[in-house]
Amino acid sequence: MVSVVHSVAAQSDFAQFFSVLSAGLTAAESERLNDAVTYAWEIYGDRLLGSGERIWSHALGMAVIIAGLELDLESRVAALLFAVPAQDEHAIAHVETRFGKPAAHLVQGVYRLNRLRPISKGFVAVDLEAGESNPAEMRAQIEVLRKMLLAMVEDIRVVLLRLASRTQTLRFYASNPDDLRTQVARETLELYSPLANRLGVWELKWELEDLSFRFIHPDIYRSIAKQLDEKRSEREEFIANAVTRVREELAASGIHEAEIYGRPKHIYSIWNKMRKKGVEFSEVYDVRALRIILKDVKECYTALGIVHNLWTPIPKEFDDYISNPKGNNYRSLHTAVHCPDGRSLEIQIRTQEMHGHAELGVAAHWRYKEGSKAPGADAYDEKIAWLRQLLTWKNEVASSDWVTHYKQAALDETIYVMTPQGRVVDLPSGSTPVDFAYRVHTDLGHRCRGAKVDGQLVPLNTPLETGQQVEIVTVKLGGPSRDWLNPTLGYIHTKSARTKVRNWFAHQALEETLSEGRALIAKELQRAGQTGANIDELARKMEFAKADDLYIAAARGELGQRQLQLALRGDASLENLLPDTVPTRPRKPVEGNQGILIVGVDKLLTQLARCCKPAPPDEILGFITRGKGISIHRADCSNFANLAALHPERVIETDWGEETTGVFACDIVVDAHDRQGLLRDISEIFTREKLNVIGVNTQSRQGEAHMSFTVEIANLRQLQRTLGLIHDVQGVVGVRRA
């Protein structure tokens, strides 16, 4: 090919080649296309040794295929310059300057798609014998499909260029066998031929399938090809006679302008029918096929009646795709008939317009819109809308919810970025490298310390864009930063990443709590002289599911020292732990004291301690004061612990009754990143929950806010619900009961 273009002796050959390349273009467009050939040679020409010559030949082959699809000048220029970005980092800018922004956009789109290399990751897309794909591999490939579909919506020509590129690659492998061609063929049958099928670009679909099938199953391919060739002359004679008969009958009915010819059957489709229907080659109905192209729909149905008059129709082999078009807007009449020789004949009947769409699909009528008032603008808009609807190829790709995912992606402005290995990750628009890291793997997010976008270091709060390659810089050990949870800093955009960061900090807090709880339990066991006690058995005795639950309860103050002593000594020790001044009688509820039960005492004055503000169902203990009755404390109250240490004889067991009345004061502490409206948002929660706020104290320093509220609650369930709602407020880092 190189000599054809650049040998002076072969200028006449180049002129013939260029006439094919520029078919359908104006003189001015042909001149620009010739300039693109020259520019491509300038870029590739000094790299003709080794792979350079292949790149040049590939570019010319792509351009010829694109010309055959009747695409515009920009598409043909992009085909010639598809590999320029890999040779020159400033190539896109140069292409835009020399050939315009549309051509540069196409070159960039093709280059981005070419960077996705699923075969390099060892994908084996299709097992042709089983007809199934590995689910894990399929999920990975669907991510690649998403990127392709996104590019398609932006500009359909990018995908047509990619299909042309893959077709040219298979043509190269047909004459240059290579171990890699089997992988390329499998990927083609999984990704590219279904795409060509749904776009209706049959011209490329058939070639992609036949060449791929030939590389993967050469023996089956040769066997079917041999059976086709053995009776080629007989088949051709039959088709010629059938064409004559149909033409005569159509003419007798007044239809004189009909195009009738035998339709070549493709080997891969023959094998597919044999495999799916479990039949032999001789039983495939459409090995012999005829196509009838007419002027309008009325003539199509007239021709159908004539065909069914000439031969006997085969039941269940008739499909009316004119009245009921396929998903890709394919329209045609399909029927199969029995012939006098006992074999079958398949016949397709369609109009010229239907045929143009069927052969070239979107490329047949597609024209790029230049300006808002360009001719055919409405048709172009309709085409784009139609493209969005037809991309539902779940029959070719094993993903039942593909349509839903794609529609959501289109509506939610999803962006697509790539890992260094070529995997495509979909994220909501506005996502950052931190979101990307957590989407790839939670551990990658935790250890993230920096990011490279397209090879350049960027801040972690940089919004990502479609098509970028993102590499995360990590440390071996470590965790996320609390700054990531500050919405004003913009490190995290997605809810899932924010949840994972919060969970990490919650886990760290849990580990600290467990450690503290172990120390408390160990200290108490040592004090009781039972360091050899079985912790699991002790936990079960205290109605905890496992030892960790016991440790957590001890650290959080939910398990008091007295309860642990009772569990270690047994219930019989209860009387020994009560003050001598309190007589032991059955417990009765104390009237007027919010349902507090005092062991053996009736009508005692009680008051809720202000230091810890107990509320049901907190574990509580009483302390006999001098002149003020019994002060009720939470069992984990530090003040109570000090009083009990000084005067253990004044400690009295107390409990909440079955029914408690009134409200209880409770302190809530909130830590948050300060922002305008934070106090208002938290106050709205108190209002919605109908909680009376009786005390507020807020402090703010260096962007961090510390707030404490005293509210009146009915019970701890109401408190827990309120804490959860406050935790979800934007900017809140932590919330707890004091």
Domain boundary among 561, 577, 593: 577
Place of tokens 């779940």: 394
| Sign of the CA dihedral with 151 first, then 36, 204, and 162 last | negative
- Tell me the per-residue pLDDT of 338-348, one tens digit each, with 9 for 90 and over: 888 777 888 99
Both structure tokens of 474? 């990590």
Predicted confidence (pLDDT) at residue 387 exceeds the cutoff of 80: no
Cis peptide before 589 (omega within 30 of 0): no
Place of tokens 């012999």: 288
- Mean pLDDT for the stretch of residues 383-397: 41
Both structure tokens of 41? 């040679």
Place of tokens 């008939």: 337
- Mean pLDDT for the stretch of residues 690-716: 85
Cα(38)–Cα(83) distance, integer angstroms: 15
- Tell me the per-residue pLDDT of 158-170, one tens digit each, with 9 for 90 and over: 888 888 999 999 9
Backbone φ and ψ of 665, nearest 5°: -70, 140
In a domain? residue 646: no
Predicted confidence (pLDDT) at residue 401 exceeds the cutoff of 80: no
Backbone φ and ψ of 178, nearest 5°: -155, 150
The closest of 713, 708, 721 to 679, measured between CA atoms, is 708
Rounded mean pLDDT of the chain? 75
In a domain? residue 571: yes
Considering the domain architecture, whether residues 446 and 507 belong to the same structural domain is answered as no
Considering the domain architecture, whether residues 104 and 129 belong to the same structural domain is answered as no
The CATH number of whichever domain residue 460 belongs to comes to 3.10.20.30
- Distances 477 to 338, 447, 448 between C-alpha atoms, Å: 74, 7, 10
- 230 versus 157: the higher-pLDDT residue is 157
Give the DSSP letter of residue 156: H
Considering the domain architecture, whether residues 445 and 476 belong to the same structural domain is answered as yes
Residue 222 pLDDT level (bands cut at 50, 70, 90): confident
Considering the domain architecture, whether residues 102 and 146 belong to the same structural domain is answered as no
Cα(68)–Cα(416) distance, integer angstroms: 31
- Tell me the per-residue pLDDT of 300-324, one tens digit each, with 9 for 90 and over: 999 999 999 999 998 888 999 999 8
C-beta atoms surrounding 302 within 10 Å? 18
Predicted confidence (pLDDT) at residue 279 exceeds the cutoff of 80: no
Give the DSSP letter of residue 649: G
Considering the domain architecture, whether residues 555 and 465 belong to the same structural domain is answered as no
In a domain? residue 245: yes
Domain boundary among 528, 554, 577: 577
The closest of 382, 348, 350 to 365, measured between CA atoms, is 382
- 110 versus 400: the higher-pLDDT residue is 110
- Mean pLDDT for the stretch of residues 621-632: 78
- 82 versus 179: the higher-pLDDT residue is 82
In a domain? residue 659: no
Q: What residues have CB less than 8 Å from 355, skipping those under 6 apart? A: 291, 293
What are the DSSP calls for 224-285, one per residue?
Answer: HHHHHHHTHHHHHHHHHHHHHHHHHHHHHTT----EEEEPPPPHHHHHHHHHHHT--GGG-G
Q: Which of 33-37, 270-274, 425-429 has the lowest mean pLDDT?
A: 270-274
Considering the domain architecture, whether residues 523 and 567 belong to the same structural domain is answered as yes
One-letter amino acid for residue 530 of the chain = Q
Instruction: Please count the CA atoms within 13 angstroms of the CA of 233 that sit on its side-chain side.
Output: 1
Considering the domain architecture, whether residues 211 and 294 belong to the same structural domain is answered as no
Q: Which helix (H) or strand (E) holds 171?
A: helix 156-175
Cα(76)–Cα(32) distance, integer angstroms: 10
Residue 140 pLDDT level (bands cut at 50, 70, 90): low
Please say whether the beta carbons of 168 and 58 come within 8 A. Answer: yes
Strand order across the beta sheet in which 606-608 lies: 588-589, 596-598, 651-656, 620-624, 630-634, 606-608
3-state SS assignment for residue 349: strand
Considering the domain architecture, whether residues 237 and 361 belong to the same structural domain is answered as yes
Considering the domain architecture, whether residues 508 and 388 belong to the same structural domain is answered as no
Considering the domain architecture, whether residues 183 and 280 belong to the same structural domain is answered as no
| Confidence (pLDDT) at 519 | 83
3-state SS assignment for residue 415: strand
| Confidence (pLDDT) at 115 | 66
Residue 715 pLDDT level (bands cut at 50, 70, 90): confident
In a domain? residue 616: no
In a domain? residue 475: yes
Task: Encode 423-491 in three state secondary structure.
Answer: CEEEEECCCCHHHHHHHHCHHHHHCEEEEEECCEEECCCCCCCCCCEEEEEECCCCCCCHHHHCHHHCC
- Distances 535 to 531, 532, 560, 570 between C-alpha atoms, Å: 10, 9, 16, 15
The answer to pTM > 0.75 is: no
Q: What residues have CB less than 8 Å from 469, skipping those under 6 apart? A: 115, 417, 418, 419, 420, 453, 454, 455
Please say whether the beta carbons of 322 and 297 come within 8 A. Answer: yes
Predicted confidence (pLDDT) at residue 266 exceeds the cutoff of 60: yes
In a domain? residue 609: no
Please say whether the beta carbons of 293 and 351 come within 8 A. Answer: yes
Predicted confidence (pLDDT) at residue 432 exceeds the cutoff of 90: yes
Alpha helices in 556-669 (DSSP H): 561-569, 574-577, 638-646
The closest of 362, 358, 355 to 380, measured between CA atoms, is 362
Please say whether the beta carbons of 341 and 333 come within 8 A. Answer: no
| Confidence (pLDDT) at 470 | 92
For residue 334, what are the β-bridge partners?
Answer: 319, 348
- Tell me the per-residue pLDDT of 463-521, one tens digit each, with 9 for 90 and over: 998 778 899 999 888 888 888 988 888 899 998 898 888 888 877 777 777 888 888 88
Among 50-64, 386-400, 415-429, 707-721, the range of highest mean pLDDT: 707-721
C-beta atoms surrounding 41 within 10 Å? 17
Considering the domain architecture, whether residues 385 and 429 belong to the same structural domain is answered as no
Both structure tokens of 653? 């067991």
- Tell me the per-residue pLDDT of 45-75, one tens digit each, with 9 for 90 and over: 655 445 567 788 888 899 999 998 888 899 9
Please list the helix, strand and coil fractions of the chain in percent, rounded to the nearest 5, in that order: 55, 15, 30
- Tell me the per-residue pLDDT of 636-679, one tens digit each, with 9 for 90 and over: 888 888 888 877 778 888 877 655 556 778 889 998 888 888 88
In a domain? residue 631: no
Q: What residues have CB less than 8 Å from 17, skipping those under 6 apart? A: 4, 5
The closest of 304, 291, 302 to 259, measured between CA atoms, is 291
342-346: which pairs have CB atoms within 8 A and are 24 or more residues apart?
343/282, 343/288, 344/285, 344/286, 344/288, 344/314, 345/242, 345/285, 345/288, 345/289, 345/290, 345/311, 346/263, 346/285, 346/286, 346/288, 346/289, 346/290, 346/317
Please say whether the beta carbons of 47 and 83 come within 8 A. Answer: no
Domain boundary among 336, 365, 394: 365
Considering the domain architecture, whether residues 195 and 98 belong to the same structural domain is answered as no
Number of structural domains in the chain: 6
The two beta strands, 664-673 and 651-656, are unpaired
Cα(596)–Cα(619) distance, integer angstroms: 12
Cα(726)–Cα(722) distance, integer angstroms: 6
Both structure tokens of 276? 């799916």
Domain span holding position 174? 116-216+371-407
The CATH number of whichever domain residue 714 belongs to comes to 3.30.70.260
Predicted confidence (pLDDT) at residue 731 exceeds the cutoff of 70: yes
- 171 versus 200: the higher-pLDDT residue is 171
